[in-house]
């Protein structure tokens, strides 16, 4: 499996830099922090989140690490601009992972979703520019492409905010986005749910639709993809990894071959298949080998397409989970679940 870090990665991009991770106590934040401390020498890693309980347990988990003294924990909410500005003083890179992510919760609590995912993005941009942060990478989702639910629509709005922010900062602070699919095993994904049901010896595994497909990657692939994107970003790109697809039914069969599956119907706001690059995006999308780059259309003084020798994808191209050319075998599904 491609680790998505890229060949000959320059560690100096990461070493001796100050990182701030919003939503840093989540699955991604924990994994990203561990990679930073295990494999690099950051000057400081600031965990910014609003949940003191999760911060407490994260602090305990990292207490024995030899670089624990480089960790800082900030209680704060991305809805609070002043608190963000205080946390960002002296920061080089921001990894923006904070969001309200559960589709049904966003449908039922739309105002809260917008306050965090859209207004929060605006606050990140304003605070980063005012404090002189060098680079900001915002984590997006496949649900932001052709969104059918509020979560996806709010993340599309967030993506647009971060791309356009390069004009606001005159590119003194660079902003880019990474967009990828389901992180296998992360909190809120189907794998922990299936595992829990299996441990409780439930009579069946619930599947919303027998044909449903998703893009899949491991948490470590997600971490490496963000790290490599920091190194190559010029500001305004949406980075999309080339990752495999699998049917949800195949994941269920690998995890519990003898357990029956029950079709329970698609939930409100749920897609049958996910898409990460739409045909309309294709006009501005580059294929650079291990990933695609959706280039910005409105970044003043920059045209990544003209500046690169890499090729554009075909005009009718789309990158969707059901038409993907790369599919996980049962063996690879098993390996990813256990990784």
Residues 146, 137: contact at Cβ < 8 Å? no
From the list 219, 194, 196, 190, the residue with the least C-alpha distance to 26 is 219
Of 268, 227, 164, nearest to 6 by C-alpha is 227
CB 216 within 8 A of CB 186: no
Alpha carbons 188 and 34: distance in angstroms, whole number: 20
From 101, 143, 242, 247, active-site residue: 143
Residue 76 and residue 276: Cα distance in Å, rounded? 31
Cα separation, 294 vs 176, in Å, equals: 10
Q: What are phi and psi of 71, to 5 degrees?
A: -90, 140
User: What gap in Å lies between CA 194 and CA 204, rounded to an integer?
Assistant: 10
281 Rama class: left (phi>0) / alpha (psi -120 to 50) / beta: alpha
Cα→Cα distances 88→91, 128, 132, 211, Å: 5, 7, 9, 45
For the chain, helix (H) and strand (E) counts, in that order, are 13, 17
**What is the spatial distance between Cα 42 and Cα 65, in angstroms, rounded to a whole number?**
14
Backbone angles phi, psi at 248, to 5 degrees: -60, -35
Across-strand partners of 326? none
**Strands 291-294 vs 238-241: parallel, antiparallel or unpaired:** antiparallel
Known catalytic residue at 253: no
List residues with catalytic annotation. 143
């Amino acid at each position: 499996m491609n680790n998505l870090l890229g060949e000959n990665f320059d560690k100096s991009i990461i070493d001796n830099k100050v990182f701030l991770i919003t939503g840093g106590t989540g699955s991604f934040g924990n994994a990203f922090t561990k990679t930073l401390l295990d494999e690099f020498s950051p000057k400081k890693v600031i965990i910014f989140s609003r949940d003191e309980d999760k911060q407490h347990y994260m602090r305990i988990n990292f207490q024995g690490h030899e670089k624990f003294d480089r960790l800082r924990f900030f209680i704060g909410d991305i809805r609070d601009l002043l608190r963000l500005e205080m946390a960002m003083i002296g920061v080089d890179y921001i990894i923006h992972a904070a969001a309200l992510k559960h589709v049904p919760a966003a449908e039922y609590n739309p105002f809260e979703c917008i306050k965090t995912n859209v207004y929060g993005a605006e606050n990140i941009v304003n605070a980063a520019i005012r404090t002189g942060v060098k680079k900001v990478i915002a984590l997006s989702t496949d649900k932001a492409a052709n969104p059918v639910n509020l979560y996806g629509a709010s993340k599309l709005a967030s993506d647009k905010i971060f791309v356009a922010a390069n004009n606001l900062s005159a590119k003194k602070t660079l902003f880019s986005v990474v967009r990828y699919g389901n992180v296998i095993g992360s909190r809120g994904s189907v794998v922990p749910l299936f595992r829990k049901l299996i441990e409780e010896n439930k009579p069946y595994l619930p599947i919303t639709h027998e044909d449903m497909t998703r893009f899949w990657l491991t948490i470590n692939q997600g971490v490496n993809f963000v790290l490599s994107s920091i190194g190559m970003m010029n500001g305004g790109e949406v980075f999309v990894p080339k990752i495999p697809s699998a049917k949800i039914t195949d994941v269920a069969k690998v995890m519990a071959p003898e357990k029956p599956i029950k079709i329970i119907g698609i939930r409100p706001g749920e897609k049958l298949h996910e898409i990460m690059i739409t045909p309309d995006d294709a006009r501005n999308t580059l294929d650079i080998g291990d990933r695609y780059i959706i280039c910005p259309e409105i970044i003043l003084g920059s045209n990544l397409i003209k500046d690169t020798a890499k090729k554009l994808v075909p005009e009718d191209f789309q990158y969707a989970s059901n038409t993907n050319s790369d599919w996980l075998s049962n063996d690879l599904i098993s390996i990813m679940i256990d990784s």
